[in-house]
Amino acid sequence: MNPIKRYTRWLHTSWPAGTVEKLPDVHEDGTTKLPGVRVVGDLTGIPLLKFSADSGAKAVHAILAEPDFAAKRGGEDGVYDLAIIGAGVSGMSAAIEAKNAGLNFTILEAAQDFSTIVNFPKGKPIYTYPTEMVPAGEVQFKADVKEALVAELESQRDDAGIETTRARVEFIERKSGVLHLHVASEDDDVKALRVIVAIGRSGNFRKLGVKGESLDKVYNRLHDPQDYSGKAALVVGGGDSAIECAIALAVAGAKVTLSYRREELSRAKPENIDQLHEMVANPKASVGVEHPSSERVTTSFTPEMCAKVGEGSVCLALATEVAEIRETEVELKDQSGEVSTLPNDVVFSMIGREPPLGFFRRSGIPIRGEWPVSRIVAFSSFMLFCILLYHWKKELTELPIGTWFKEHGWFPANVGNWWDAVGGWFAEASRRPANLLYTLRKSMSSAGFYYSLAYCLCVFAFGLRRIRRRKTPYVKLQTWTLITIQVIPLFLLPEIVLPWAGRNGWFADGAVGATFADQFFERYDDVGVERAYWRSYGFILAWPLFVANVFTDKPMWGWLIIGFLQTFVLIPLIIRRWGKGAYCGWICSCGALAETMGDAHRHKMPHGPKWNRLNMVGQVVLLFAFLLLLLRIVGWAMPDSFASSLYDKAYKKIPYLNYNWLVDVMLAGVIGVGCYFWFSGRVWCRFACPLAALMHIYTRFTRFRIFADKKKCISCNVCTSVCHQGIDIMNFANKGLGMRDPECVRCSACVQSCPTGVLTFGRLDAKDQPIYDRLAASPVQMKEGGTMVSLPVLGGNG
């Protein structure tokens, strides 16, 4: 690879880059955009039996607590209090709770009760994670194999007296406060005050998209593995279903090839991975079955090995894809494009199902990641607003809105007139420079004051909401730290405190503070009273995030020294110990707004390899900043040089192509804030911030990790889905590896959202052993009364 590709891989593209599945847009409590409709079970993002039962029962409890529901229940003939769609684990749990509460309800199921479990392979082991969890409601789990579990669930259903109505609901519609369930082949709607959708991932099976997929020998389910004893079977997929299918077939004596498009099996339960790996070393011991073949499980793909795989054995064909399926053969294609032909009798395509998104679309419930016309219009309108806002805030030649407002005496240039109109002592005091009201009046005549004030109010208000939503000591301390830094050094200090102090002579000629002020705030008058106090942002915001204190006409040595210490000494030391997030997630003003106003939008950040490559945009911006710094230094030394002229043009003077407009206004402002409600609050931070880009380099040498207890990981992908930096955290967690992707900003969303308490902040000591943070960030671990058990770590890469 060329140097740029090597550098890109070293910095960003070598890390796992899993995607997030499209699901209906459901709030944390299961509510949706359609009033009165809640979603429970697998579609909430956690495909586990105990969580499904728990969510179903809790949904009924939440409905019972709604004041308007209590007032209307049982009040209209022909209208159920509650309709439940789906008779799986979550739906049945909800039905039992509804019956116990005396609700008038119905439960509708298109297929059969507990159909997902019924269609598990014969004798499939059941893992009821988390083992210590007791779900809300009466549905509980004791069985550890499929048949016993089905019997157990059916017994609980029968004991509760639940009767299911066979019906397929096409969509839900709300009319005059009542929810209408449109049922296929029925003239009359089912009407209800509330609806619980518990249909799970009951959509169509995903397609391989290859020739021969429609042959009769291709299946999406395995019922009885014994039917395929002695046959050459291909299993496609890398999740739990695929691995369990391959193991079951091998145990039954089939000749199994497991094809997966990635180089490793990273998204399955640890027990399944371990069992497969145990079969590599000793399949008899791991599965307790005698196999007719002396050759056992093979671990690397070669066509010859998989073609000769023996009965009761598995050949792992990793990093391959199915190219074609024929009557007696299959073709697999590896990453180089080479195609291999294997003998084959049966194919099991175990790549999952598409969620029933059509049902939600017809019901008017949005799908995460989809862009209907209304969303496009809203996004475009907000982006236009941001363009106008940032060009009003600054006086720019590209779109001189701020200049127009000032020339016409429009807000905020006319604020002084409002103060005078009040009259009396108030107006008089506001005209005396030493008075605090004068400083307030002057600051309020600047557009930047209102922008900063609104910024602070958003951080404060949404910060309080974040603390209430995410009740952990980590979030509480982090949020209050961000609020404090945003309000005091980034608002009160430049807008009120320093200007007021200057007007009271603190920095005037002869004053004690004059020497200090001359190094940091250039004069706007001859005596040193009015100064560029806005430069105090540089005490918090380091270069090259805040470049104005370095890119000056003449060197300001105070800022150059502070900037150097911040960017090249203090921040690297902080990152070495606590990771990049110690600055991005605890100090930076961009991070303050992202962690507060952006808190409810974390799941909207795109994931995947293509987006990870886009992370390199920040490196381009960083290079731009360093080139400007070099030109600035040369320009200081030789003011009349070509370098000085080029600097002036590249920094501010070339319309639409200068750094000030492209980076500070458009990328950091318009795009960064404009994308908040559609792509999360970290678009600027992840993709384009030059300081973050520099810190990504530092972070490659950090000791910080998010440690994972592999045995507790259930591969639910919740941690990845809530990461607003696009990190595939689950791919680290289910291997028991410490997460070390340099994009991490220590927001704690993954740690806080993990349903089994897998993740913990910490660092590696000198012997590469984990030291866990004491500040609790995981609610599950808080309930358990501690943090993680001690885990082995694989060297510096752990």
Over range 276-302, report the average pLDDT. 44
Q: Among the listed ranges 110-124, 157-171, 720-734, which one has the minimum average pLDDT value?
A: 110-124
Interval 708-717 mean pLDDT = 87
pLDDT at 472 over 50: yes
User: Which pLDDT tens digit goes with each residue over 18-49?
Assistant: 889 889 999 989 999 999 999 999 888 787 88
- For residues 259-282, average pLDDT: 73
Give the pLDDT score at 281.
Answer: 33
Buried-exposed string 571-585: b where 16+ CB fall within 10 A, e elsewhere = bbebbbebbbbbbbb
Phi-psi region of 795 (alpha: psi -120 to 50; beta: other; left: phi over 0): left
Residue 765 has pLDDT above 80, yes or no: yes
Q: What is the mean pLDDT of residues 230-234?
A: 95
The pTM for the full model equals 0.87
For 497-543, the pLDDT digits (tens) are: 999 999 999 999 889 899 999 999 999 988 889 999 999 999 999 99
Q: Which of 9-23, 263-277, 373-387, 698-712 has the lowest mean pLDDT?
A: 263-277
Give the tokens for residue 132.
């210590």
State the amino acid at position 357 in one-letter form.
L
Q: What is the pLDDT of residue 594?
A: 97
Q: Residue 48's pLDDT is what?
A: 83
Tokens of 292: 């007719």
Work out the pLDDT band at 298, boundaries 50, 70, 90.
very low
* 146: its two tokens: 């499929």
Q: Which helix (H) or strand (E) holds 347?
A: strand 346-349
Q: Round to whole Å and give the CA distance between 753 and 71.
A: 34
pLDDT at residue number 277: 74
What average pLDDT does range 541-557 have in this prediction?
A: 97
**Contacts for 145 with CB less than 8 Å, ≥ 6 apart:** 123, 124, 125, 126
pLDDT for 119? 84
Average pLDDT over residues 484-501: 97
CA distances from 755 to 70, 139, 143, 750, 758 (A): 31, 19, 22, 10, 8
Using CA atoms, how far apart are residues 123 and 314, in angstroms rounded to an integer?
19
Sign of the dihedral defined by the CA atoms of residues 541, 544, 546, 552, in that order:
positive
**Residue tagged 């793909």 (tokens):** 301
- Residue pair 326/217 in contact (Cβ under 8 Å)? The answer is no
Q: What is the DSSP string of 34-57?
A: STTEEE-GGGGT---HHHHHHHHH
pLDDT-derived band at 290, boundaries 50, 70, 90 = very low
Instruction: Locate all alpha helices (DSSP H) within 433-488, ordered by sequence.
Output: 436-443, 447-469, 473-487
Give whichever of 73-77, 335-339, 658-662, 730-734 has the largest mean pLDDT.
658-662
- Amino acid 794: pLDDT: 39
pLDDT at 1: 62
For 653-711, write each residue's pLDDT tens digit.
999 999 999 999 999 999 999 999 999 999 999 999 999 999 999 999 999 999 999 88
- Count Cα atoms within 13 angstroms, Cβ side, for 657: 6
- The confidence score (pLDDT) of residue 202 equals 67
**Residue 301 has what pLDDT?**
64
Mean per-residue pLDDT, 606-624: 96
Query: What is the model's pLDDT at position 272?
Result: 80
Averaged pLDDT of the chain: 91
Query: Could you tell me which of 588, 752, 759, 753 has the C-alpha nearest to residue 686?
Result: 588
Confidence of residue 283 (pLDDT cuts 50, 70, 90): very low
- Give me 102's structure tokens: 């005396």
CA distances for 350 relative to 93, 531, 596, angstroms: 28, 68, 40
